[in-house]
């Protein structure tokens, strides 16, 4: 049943608030900081995508994410939701963290895939 399976395929979601605007987000799977000291994105292998909820655009997509997007007919508009992510075939191995920083109006959604393995 489609309804039941889409209910089970739930992408996990949490919101993260950083009191220090320079404090970087760390990957919840491997602990690696996702930014260098210049606040440039340094994605680890778990990072699936980064979406700017205000600009409503992706600032990062992993190769796996690009492949899923190409295979789906998903058109992302507006704010990125966990529902849209689950339509790409992601389930509870994906954790979406919505990051808000102090003094910043931006909200960024970082999605980490815990199911990435290194060969």
| Least distance CB 43 / Zn ion (angstroms) | 8
Nearer to Zn ion, 14 or 30 (CB): 30
Structure tokens at 116: 């990435």
Residue with Cβ nearer Zn ion (62 or 82):
62
Q: Which is nearer to Zn ion, 27 or 111 (CB)?
A: 27
**Shortest approach of Zn ion to residue 116 CB, angstroms?**
8
CB of 92 to Zn ion, least distance (A): 17
Of the pair 63, 77, the CB lying nearest Zn ion is at 63
Return the percent helix, strand and coil in the chain, to nearest 5: 20, 30, 50
Contacts of residue 117, defined as CB under 8 A and 6 or more positions apart, other chains included, come to: none
Kindly state the DSSP code that residue 33 receives in the 8-state scheme: B
Tell me how far, at minimum, the Cβ of 93 lies from Zn ion, in Å.
13
Selection from 35, 8, 11 nearest residue 22 by Cα: 35
Q: Which of 2, 12, 23, 6 is nearest to 81 (CA)?
A: 12
In the bound complex, which residue of the shown chain has the CB atom lying closest to Zn ion?
27
Please give the residue ranges that form the binding site for Zn ion (CB under 5 A): 27, 29-30, 44, 46
Report the distance separating Cα 27 and Cα 44, nearest Å: 7
């Amino acid at each position: 049943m489609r309804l039941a399976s889409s209910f089970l395929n739930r992408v996990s979601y949490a919101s993260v608030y950083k009191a220090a605007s320079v404090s970087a987000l760390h990957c919840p799977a491997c602990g690696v900081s996702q930014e260098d000291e210049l606040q440039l994105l340094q994605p680890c292998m778990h990072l699936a995508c980064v979406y700017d909820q205000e600009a409503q655009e992706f600032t990062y997509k992993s190769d796996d994410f690009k492949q899923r997007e190409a295979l789906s007919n998903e058109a992302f508009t507006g704010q990125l939701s966990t529902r849209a992510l689950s339509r790409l075939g992601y389930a509870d191995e994906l954790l979406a963290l919505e990051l808000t920083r102090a003094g910043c109006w931006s909200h960024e959604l970082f999605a980490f895939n815990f199911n990435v393995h290194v060969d």
